[in-house]
Structure 1
Amino acid sequence: MLSYFIVTICSFISNLLGALWRTVSATAGSAVQEPPALAFMEELNPRQQAAKQLKQSFLQALLANDAQEVLRILHTSKLDIDTVLEVEDPGMVLASYKQGYWLPGYKLENSWAMGIHVCMMYGAVETALVLLQEGAAVNRMPNGKTPLHVACDVSNSDCVMLLLAHGAKISSLSLSGHTALHYCITRESVDCAKQLILKGADVNMPSNNNDEDTPLHTAARFAVPELVALYLAHGASVDAVNSFQETPLMTAAFWAFDSKEQIYSENHHLVCRLLLDHKADPNLQEEDNKTALHKAAWNCDHVLMQMLLEAGADTRAMDINGCAPLQYLLKVTDVRPMAIPELCYQLLLNHHAARVYPPQFHKVLQSCHEYPRVLEIMVNCYERLKPTRKWRAAIPDDCYKRHKDFYDSLFSVCTNTPRSLLHLTRCAIRASLGGFCHSRVPQLLLPPRLKKYLLLTPEGLLY
């Protein structure tokens, strides 16, 4: 709290001085020269200039992986081997900050690092070996990361091996609270993770921050099946929870859909398959009582929904607001253009999802009016539905015209009279099977077309 207060005060003073200087500059005009005090601060005496030039030469040798030049500089000068350099780091590979820290913009393009960090960043193994043999510190973190964190972040297994052989601590936490395993987030970093585990890294150690994710959570979020399999094989808890009570399965289910690109991730699906094969519980609830099925329904992800339902996911589980997965599906049907929503509804209803309360069916029309196949599935799970005045108002005129044949059939069958005997028979069979429609209907000695009819496969019209 004290450090945050100090940073805030410094920021305020800096902004105030900046405003005063801009005011003075504007008054004096464009011909005003740089203030003598600032010019003096920027001037360096010969000794300082020589030290700056030496650091620059050292950095250039590191970047070029010139081990001989690095060794020459260390042996012919008084340069500290652990001197801190300012390095271009737009990708934030060298830097790690605590959550909530205020970061001035100029710090985001550069980071502070020692020579060994630079070698890790650029995979300069030969130069790194020279530094370590000359006594470079292996566990310091001038900008929040140790060299081992950096090596894992860039997925360089040779550098990881070298650091571990020279005493790198496998459980050191970066400033943001992550271990080296948490920085293994790509397929290329699998070998790094293997070496860390062989040296005793704890696959169940949570991050020391607001999330408290285990390495398995991280691998699930970034969808690296090889890492997930590795962690599970070495004793990772498949149902470990973070600070939000989310399991790795929930994490993978949520991140399986890229809302920006509007695509579904096969790797996330594979991660979920691995977790379920290792007996992950699909019905655990996070802090808002959502399950993995809620998250899959929110993404309108029929592949993942089927996977979860086959593993025993409860279609009637309710979140903290009393919403079941079907309600989540209704909320997003019209904003998931790459989805196949009718499959999602069909899956839920065939696994005994609770139906929408009939007087509220106009809300289904509001959400799904552009998807006649969804409406057909929803209507066919009732013996009968009585329309209200809100039904027609929920359907835009242009949409009604585009799907006129379907909507005409909808309003013709949804009256106060019973529907066809065939439909009533379907409802009776489904009611007798209860929550086992999905598994028992395929076993019935019926033609394939009738099985599809019983499972609510849409046909285009209601009758």
Structure 2
Amino acid sequence: MVRMLDYFIVTICTFISNLLHSLWTLLESEPADLPAQGPSPWDFMEELSPRQLAVKQLKQQFLVALQANNAQEVLKILHSGKLDIDTVLEVDDPKMVLASYKQGYWLPGYKLEKSWAMGIHVCVMYNALETALMLLEKGAAVNRTPNGKTPLHVACEVSNSDFVSLLLAHGAKVNSLSLSGHTPLHHCVTRESVDCAKQLILKGAKVNVTSHNNDEDTPLHKAARFGVPELVALFLAHGASVDAVNSLQETPLMTAAFWAFDTKEQIYSQEHHFVCRLLLDHQADPNLQEEDQKTALHKAAWNCDHVLMQMLLEAGADARAMDINGCAPIQYLLKVTDVRPMAIPELCYQLLLNHNAARVYPPQFHKVLQSCHDYPRVVEILVNSYERLKPTKKWRAAITDDCYERHKDFYDSVFAVCTNTPRSLLHLARCAVRAGMGGFCHQGVPQLPLPSSMKKYILLEPEGILY
């Protein structure tokens, strides 16, 4: 029995060896070495059969007719019976209107230029409404995702409310998920898509649904990220949770505060400011902290955005809140003062100090000069927030020579008054009033029976020189 088994194994191994040898010989042979009467194996690999070629050409004709909104030609091709109504086509899609991928997917660049789509997807992409209506009446599938998105996702992506209405009327699922885990409502991120969002909500779209991916954003987070006040107002009016958090524990208010500044263009977005105002008016909590314990005020300070900082502080934001690294908003402000050319940094510092922000530890004041020496108004505000300051050798070293020459009178006055001895009686009176009011300077000082110039003095309005 053992001999028979050994013989069987040897026979099988010999057969496989001979077969592999034959295949290798065939693959290594040149076309000229092959018999003249037979086609080359490469011909079958490189050339399509006549039937395959005909189908490929018909698909191309079908795609062209769909893109041109030529309903008659589309109908003619379908009536030929050679192409199914839900045939998947390959479509140019460089902006990824049709495509949706899970996070972590990798595709080469040339693959991202193309997408798979059915006829109804193509109609949505090219605004071929008449052809789409014909396809739906003929029974085209309305909820399939050949490349991750349903036609309804695509309609919201391109902000086409007519298509949203048409697809919903033909059974499109309003809360369907794309491959990346987004509902159609997540794709409503422009002012033009407000009507799309309205239709989705009226058909039962969930305004508090989170995306099923690593972000876990709600539609309100998306609207806040892109700065669309109309969408934010719509979602809030239909019950969106104003303090919903995503996977990073960020609220929509934090999201809007961070994206209010375009770092590339170096401009501030008024639309994002409107979004923050809406969220605060709907009782958004300005003191919630994300996973690194930063608040919305930290993010506004990082942007050096005095408009948003004032809005948040007036809504009760804590000017002393610390993040996971022990940094308060004023530390964030110090880090970016010299890289925000469109900002008005002195207003940011003035706001924080008048809302009881903790001052820089006096022995570390040279770090203020390192960051802000080109902004004498900032330095003046910070120096005036102390009753007295003792300079160190690091102070002068922190100020570049050319900057010192540009602002010589100001810096001479700084070194004249910063001697660790009491300053003028007027300044001491200012410090006494501020200390007495604590964190209510911004509210209390305007109510004092004093001239407006004196109120400005107490609130650290810069004058250009120290005395």
Please give the residue correspondences for 1:293-372 in structure 2 after superposition, counting only pairs within 5 Å: 293-372=297-376
Distance 1:214 1:284 in 2: 17
Alpha-carbon separation, structure 2, partners of 1:37 and 1:160: 50
The answer for the alignment partner of 1:17 in structure 2 is none
Structure 1 unaligned segments of length 5 or more: list them.
Answer: 1-23, 25-35
Q: Does 1:387 align with 2:394?
A: no
Q: Which residue of 2 aligns with 1:166?
A: 170
Cα distance in structure 2, aligned partners of 1:149 and 1:309? 39
Distance in 2 separating the partners of 1:94 and 1:40: 33
Matches within 5 A, 1:84-123: 84-123=88-127
Question: For residues 38 and 88 of structure 1, do their structure 2 counterparts lie closer, same or farther at Cα, with a shift above 3 Å needed?
Answer: farther
Tell me the CA shift for residue 174 of structure 1: 0.6
Q: What is the Cα deviation at residue 40 of structure 1?
A: 4.0
Letter in 1 for 2:78: L
Secondary structure, aligned partner of 2:91: strand
Deviation at 1:210, TM superposition (A): 0.3
Any idea what SS the aligned residue of 1:69 has? helix
Secondary structure in 1 matching 2:115: strand
**1:222 lines up with 2:226 in the alignment:** yes
After superposition, give the CA deviation of every residue in 1:242-265 in whole Å (9 maximum; x if it has no partner): 011000000000000000110000
Provide the rounded CA distance (Å) in 2 between the counterparts of 1:339 and 1:410: 24
2:190 is aligned, of 186, 190, 197, to 186
Whole-Å Cα distance in 1 between the matches of residues 53 and 336 of structure 2? Answer: 62
Amino acid at match of 1:150: V
Matched, 1:250 2:254: yes
Per-residue CA deviations over 1:302-345 (Å, capped at 9, x if unaligned) read 00000000000000000000000000000000000000000000
C-alpha offsets along residues 1-51 of structure 1, whole Å, 9 cap, x if unaligned?
Answer: xxxxxxxxxxxxxxxxxxxxxxx9xxxxxxxxxxx7666423112111110
TM-score of the two chains, using structure 1 as the length reference: 0.92
How many pairs are equivalent? Answer: 429
Task: Compute the RMSD of aligned alpha carbons.
Answer: 1.1
Per the TM alignment, residue 102 of structure 1 is displaced from its structure 2 partner at its CA by: 0.9
Identical aligned residues as a percent: 83
Q: Give the Cα separation in 2 of the matches to 1:42 and 1:150.
A: 35
User: Where do 1:66-77 residues align within 5 Å?
Assistant: 66-77=70-81
Question: Which one-letter code corresponds to 1:370 in the other structure?
Answer: D
Q: Which amino acid aligns with 1:416?
A: N
Q: 1:427 to 1:85 in 2, by over 3 A?
A: same
- Could you state the TM-score of these two structures normalised by the residue count of structure 2? 0.91
Q: 1:258 & 1:38 partners in 2: Cα distance?
A: 55
Measured after TM superposition, the shift of residue 77 of structure 1 is: 2.9
SS at match of 1:87: strand
Deviation track 1:163-209 (CA, whole Å, cap 9, x = no partner) reads: 10111111111111100000001011000000000000000000000
Q: 1:127 aligned to 2:131?
A: yes
Shift of 1:416: 2.4
Deviation at 1:109, TM superposition (A): 1.0
- 3-state SS of the aligned residue for 1:460? coil
Rounded to whole Å, the distance in 2 between the matches of 1:39 and 1:442 is 89
Letter in 2 for 1:108: L
Shift of 1:78: 2.1
Structure-2 separation of matches of 1:290 and 1:276: 17
Could you say which residue in structure 2 is the equivalent of 1:447? 451
Give the match for residue 7 of structure 1. Answer: none
User: Residue 269 of structure 1 aligns with which residue?
Assistant: 273
Structure 1 Cα separation of the partners of residues 225 and 334 of structure 2: 25
C-alpha distance in 1, partners of 2:160/2:250?
A: 30
Please state whether the residue corresponding to 1:300 is helix, strand or coil.
coil
1:51 equivalenced with 2:55 (yes/no):
yes
Q: Which moved more, 1:66-75 or 1:300-309?
A: 66-75
CA deviations 1:360-389 (Å, max 9, x no partner) are 101101110100000000000000000011
Is 1:438–2:434 an aligned residue pair? no
Q: Which residue of 2 is the match for residue 403 of structure 1?
A: 407
One-letter identity of the residue aligned with 1:291: T
Quick one: structure 1 residues 38 and 360, their matched pair in 2 at CA, closer, same or farther if it must change by over 3 Å? farther
**CA-CA distance at 1:92 after TM superposition:** 0.4
After TM superposition, the structure 1 = structure 2 runs for residues 196-215 of structure 1, keeping only pairs within 5 Å, are 196-215=200-219
Q: C-alpha displacement at 1:105, in angstroms?
A: 1.2
* 2:173 alignment partner AA: K
1: CA distance, partners of 2:107 / 2:300? 35
1:328 counterpart SS class: helix
Distance 1:321 1:183 in 2: 35
Structure 1: how far apart are the matches of 2:97 and 2:286?
35
Instruction: Find the residue that maps to 1:367 and give its secondary structure.
Output: helix
**Distance in structure 1 (CA, Å) of the matches to 2:230 and 2:125:** 23
Identify the residue that residue 32 of structure 1 maps to in structure 2: none
Q: State how far apart, in whole Å, the 2-side matches of 1:41 and 1:306 are.
A: 69
